[in-house]
């Protein structure tokens, strides 16, 4: 048989080169792959095969005195009477930072204006901005003066004496549940939100009113993270050393950007915080650990955003609850999303078909999984 040696060699050469390329790419990316793929596979398998987090109870329990010491910072700004004498449907904590004056101002004049919410919706929503003290020692006293002046006008800040830093977010979580327990335990629902999110409060209130009518308990809803692995890359701000959390998977939790719990759950979480080691700095993961301990699991609500920004469209506005990453456009979004016309857009069969089509176009793109999942188009 006639064999073309030159051809074979050429083929093999090409194969060899491509093999080398693939190998070197693999080697260069191996660390990333190792971190991302391997840890996710491990963590998802754990989540779906074992799904027991009893070790949290066993390993992270501390004495009441030790647990107390994590959250025992004196209040510098406090309001004892925020909830007194009113039937509070929703106590809404906004996790803010001392320097974010502008964000607080935007929120107060839009979705956090409880005077106008009371007038329009006929329910009581209380908005409280929670924070620590300015982390930068140089600016501390001037910023603090400005905060006191701001609180003089609006009376809606609550501040504890700990440094307001990313790594102290769990202290802010403890503060919210402790403050709610002490000052607003009768609020029917409690929400925790970042100060750069948009909350469609009218939609949320309508949803909560239905839950109240049905007498629903054990509510913890938001954008759910299932079987998330701890990040072991030292450069990440979510880095958690093995000594702090040695297992391959976190219990399920809702994104800290915005979630809602019912009164009974808030109470249970409060009690869990009294017996857990709160040194894990990722506040939403810590919340998941507390909930796991008291047997509460999160429920996915498709219109709570994780990281992403919701598309601008009336068909979205009609259903949306939260959207992340808003600062400049809060005023615009508030006007657009709460305009009376929004409720008409999907009325009738044609309207429904139209909105389903629009939402499929906006949410079901393969490369886009940021805000609401594709199935939100059909709900």
Ligand X SMILES: *[C@@H]1O[C@H](CO)[C@@H](O)[C@H](O)[C@H]1NC(C)=O
Cβ proximity to ligand X: between 124 and 356 the closer is: 124
Strands (E), 134-188: 157-163
Cβ proximity of 146 and 77 under 8 Å? no
Q: Which of the stretches 106-114, 139-147, 309-317, 341-349 binds ligand X when contact is defined by CB under 6 A? A: 106-114
Size of the site for ligand X (CB under 6 A): 23
**Any contact of residue 115 with ligand X (CB under 6 A)?**
yes
Of the residues 47, 95, 103, 108, which one makes contact with ligand X according to CB under 6 A: 108
Torsion of CA 340, 344, 346, 348, to 10 degrees: 160
List of residues 6+ apart from 279 with CB closer than 8 A: 70, 170, 244
Cβ proximity of 228 and 43 under 8 Å? yes
Q: For strands 322-324 and 197-199, give the pairing.
A: antiparallel
**Any contact of residue 361 with ligand X (CB under 6 A)?**
no
**Any contact of residue 113 with ligand X (CB under 6 A)?**
yes
Cβ proximity to ligand X: between 57 and 209 the closer is: 57
**Any contact of residue 62 with ligand X (CB under 6 A)?**
yes
The angle at the Cα of 9, spanning 8 to 10, to the nearest 5 degrees, equals 90
Cβ proximity to ligand X: between 295 and 348 the closer is: 295
Q: Hey, which residues between 85 and 104 contact ligand X (CB under 6 A)?
A: none
Cβ proximity to ligand X: between 24 and 297 the closer is: 297
224-to-152, 228, 259 alpha-carbon distances in Å:
37, 10, 9
Smallest gap from residue 76 Cβ to ligand X (A): 5
Of the residues 100, 168, 322, 371, which one makes contact with ligand X according to CB under 6 A: 168
Cβ proximity to ligand X: between 104 and 324 the closer is: 104
Q: Which of the stretches 2-10, 35-43, 110-118, 322-330 binds ligand X when contact is defined by CB under 6 A? A: 110-118
Q: Hey, which residues between 286 and 315 contact ligand X (CB under 6 A)?
A: 293, 295
- β-pair partners for 305: none
User: Exposure pattern of 91-101 as b/e (b: 16+ CB <10 Å)?
Assistant: bbbbbbbbbbe
**Any contact of residue 243 with ligand X (CB under 6 A)?**
yes
Of the residues 74, 85, 137, 215, which one makes contact with ligand X according to CB under 6 A: 74
Rounded Cα–Cα distance for residues 14 and 103 (Å): 58
List of residues 6+ apart from 236 with CB closer than 8 A: none
Rounded Cα–Cα distance for residues 166 and 228 (Å): 20
Smallest gap from residue 239 Cβ to ligand X (A): 13
**Any contact of residue 244 with ligand X (CB under 6 A)?**
yes
Smallest gap from residue 143 Cβ to ligand X (A): 14
Q: In the chain, how long is the greatest CA-to-CA distance?
A: 98
| Site residues for ligand X per CB under 6 A | 57, 61-62, 66, 74, 76, 108-109, 113, 115-116, 161-163, 165, 167-168, 243-244, 277, 279, 293, 295
């Amino acid at each position: 048989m006639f064999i073309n040696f030159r051809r074979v060699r050429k083929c093999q050469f090409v194969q060899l080169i491509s093999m080398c390329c693939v190998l070197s790419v693999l080697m260069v990316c191996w660390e990333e792959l190792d971190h991302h793929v391997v840890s996710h596979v491990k963590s998802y398998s754990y989540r779906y095969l074992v799904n027991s987090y009893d070790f949290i109870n066993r390993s992270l329990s501390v004495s009441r005195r030790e647990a107390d010491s994590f959250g025992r910072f004196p209040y510098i700004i406090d309001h004892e009477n925020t909830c007194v004498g009113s039937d509070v449907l929703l106590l809404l904590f906004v996790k803010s930072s001392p320097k974010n004056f502008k964000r607080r101002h935007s929120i107060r004049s839009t979705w956090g204006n409880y005077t106008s919410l009371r007038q329009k919706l006929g329910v009581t929503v209380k908005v409280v901005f929670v924070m620590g003290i300015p982390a930068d020692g140089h600016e501390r006293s001037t910023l603090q003066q400005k905060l006191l002046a701001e609180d003089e006008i609006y009376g809606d800040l609550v501040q504890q004496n700990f440094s307001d830093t990313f790594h102290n977010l769990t202290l802010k979580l403890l503060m919210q549940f402790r403050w709610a327990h002490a000052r607003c335990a009768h609020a029917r629902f409690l929400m925790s939100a970042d100060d750069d999110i948009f909350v469609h409060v009218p939609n949320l209130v309508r949803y909560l009113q239905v839950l109240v009518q049905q007498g629903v308990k054990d509510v913890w809803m938001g954008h759910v993270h299932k079987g998330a692995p701890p990040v072991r890359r030292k450069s990440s701000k979510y880095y958690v050393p093995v000594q702090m959390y040695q297992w391959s998977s976190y219990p399920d939790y809702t994104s800290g950007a915005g979630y809602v719990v019912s009164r009974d759950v808030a109470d249970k979480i409060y009690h869990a915080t009294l017996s857990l080691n709160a040194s894990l700095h990722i506040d939403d993961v810590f919340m998941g650990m507390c909930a796991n301990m008291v047997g509460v699991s999160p429920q996915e609500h498709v219109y709570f955003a994780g990281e992403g920004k919701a598309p601008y469209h009336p068909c979205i506005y009609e259903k949306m609850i939260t959207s992340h990453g808003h600062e400049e456009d809060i005023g615009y979004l508030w006007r657009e999303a709460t305009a009376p016309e929004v409720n008409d857009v999907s009325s009738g069969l044609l309207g429904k078909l139209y909105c389903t089509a629009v939402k499929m176009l906006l949410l079901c793109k393969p490369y886009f999984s940021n805000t609401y999942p594709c199935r939100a188009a059909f709900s």
